[in-house]
Structure 1
Amino acid sequence: MARAGVTVERLVRVAADLADEIGFDNVTVTALARSFGVKEGSLYSHIENMRDLRVKVALLALAELADAAGAALAGRSGKDALVAFADAYRDYARKHPGRYAATRFPLDPQTAAASAGVRHVEMTRAILHGYRIPEPDQIDAIRLLGSTFHGFVSLETAGSFQHSADARGTDASWSRILDALHTSLTHWSSA
């Protein structure tokens, strides 16, 4: 019988909180069991294994990030939409580094197709529509945006920019990168 207070939803939320504290890759069933004051084995009535837990945290994080990005995009187009979308990703990664790392966890195709990851692609396509990028080129543009956002955010959250003596900080660089992306998307040439 399941211990009172432990549900799949609570387990996943506690795992996500723990991921933000100690890193997504450092979350273990042992640490979670300690959080609930139960034995490890009792958690397996709620999750199949560690991969199942990681998938559940990834799905939660993808949904949270899609909600944040969707709210940021509401009523915006063009460069405003691009900046709001990018800032939503960056803000989420800064506030929830473990959850953000979970959004990169590889999902099987069926799980990915049913996840909020689809909403991320749809929102990106909506932004690209405002730049009049044709359908065949959209996947390249989606990959450009995703790799740029993720690359910058990953380096920033890892502390890789702290060595710079630039008094402007990373915000100035982020703004310049978004300007460059806007210019690139505005002047997109089809292959």
Structure 2
Amino acid sequence: MSRVGLTADRLARAGAELADEIGFDNVTPSELARRFGVKVASLYSHVRSAHDLRVRVALLALDELADLVAAGLAGRSGRDALEALGDVYRDYARSHPGRYAATRLPLDHETAARSAGPRHAAMTRAVLRAYHLSEPDETHAVRLLGSTFHGFIALELAGGFSHSSPGARESWARILDVLDFSLTHWPPTPGNTP
């Protein structure tokens, strides 16, 4: 086993590469063992189960994506930051579809708390500061952005826009315009109007 240098980190990285090649749902210890030329039992010295492997891939992908988002948002605010946020998610999904799918894996509360998930939420809230939303509207807006970005990305990756006009790029630009408009003109919370 030491001849191939297996570690939990190396397995997670190999799992992420495999996810991009064959899809996150197809990442299994047996497929990884084949790639490394070892028996499946050899992997269990480093990962507890197939689920543990998938969680490690998800955590790696969330970290990578958070670093890209932070770099993309640097020095930006308002509409420019909103566009950068969406573009980073979309670009990552198109470049790393398996890893992106891994970021959607439901994590238990403890694992989610120590993941880059809170970093993603904080960066999204930082983008929203320019729109001066109060709580709980900021939380609603975080959910709106996540739903819109992830929904568009899922449809695009599935080929949903490939045979229609206008193209996905034009729709994406219009969606960002609509999100910016919606955030700028956020309606008052019912019951809080004078």
Q: Is the TM-score greater than 0.5?
A: yes
The sequence identity of aligned pairs, in percent, is: 65
Kept after mapping to 1: 8 A contact 2:4/2:36? no
Q: Using the TM superposition, give the Cα deviation of residue 3 of structure 1 relative to its aligned residue in structure 2, in angstroms.
A: 4.8
Q: Deviations over 1:22-69 (max 9, x none)?
A: 000011111100111100010000000011011100000001011111
Say which SS state the counterpart of residue 5 (structure 2) adopts: coil
Question: After the TM superposition, which parts of structure 1 deviate over 2 Å for at least 4 consecutive aligned residues?
Answer: 1-4
What pairs with 1:155-170 in structure 2 (closer than 5 Å)? 155-164=155-164, 166=165, 168-170=166-168
Q: Who is 2:50 aligned against?
A: 50
Q: Who is 1:96 aligned against?
A: 96
Q: Who is 2:174 aligned against?
A: 176
Q: Using the TM superposition, give the Cα deviation of residue 160 of structure 1 relative to its aligned residue in structure 2, in angstroms.
A: 1.2
Structure 1 gaps of 5+ residues are: none
In structure 2, what is the Cα distance between the partners aligned to 1:59 and 1:124? 18
TM-score, normalised relative to structure 2:
0.95
Kept after mapping to 2: 8 A contact 1:15/1:32? yes
| Residue 126 (structure 1) aligned with residue 109 (structure 2) | no
In structure 1, what is the Cα distance between the partners aligned to 2:188 and 2:140? 10
Q: Who is 2:192 aligned against?
A: none
> C-alpha root-mean-square deviation of aligned residues, in Å?
1.0
Q: Who is 2:142 aligned against?
A: 142
Q: How many pairs align?
A: 189
In structure 2, what is the Cα distance between the partners aligned to 1:142 and 1:171? 23
What pairs with 1:22-101 in structure 2 (closer than 5 Å)? 22-101=22-101
Q: Who is 2:186 aligned against?
A: 188
Q: Using the TM superposition, give the Cα deviation of residue 163 of structure 1 relative to its aligned residue in structure 2, in angstroms.
A: 2.5
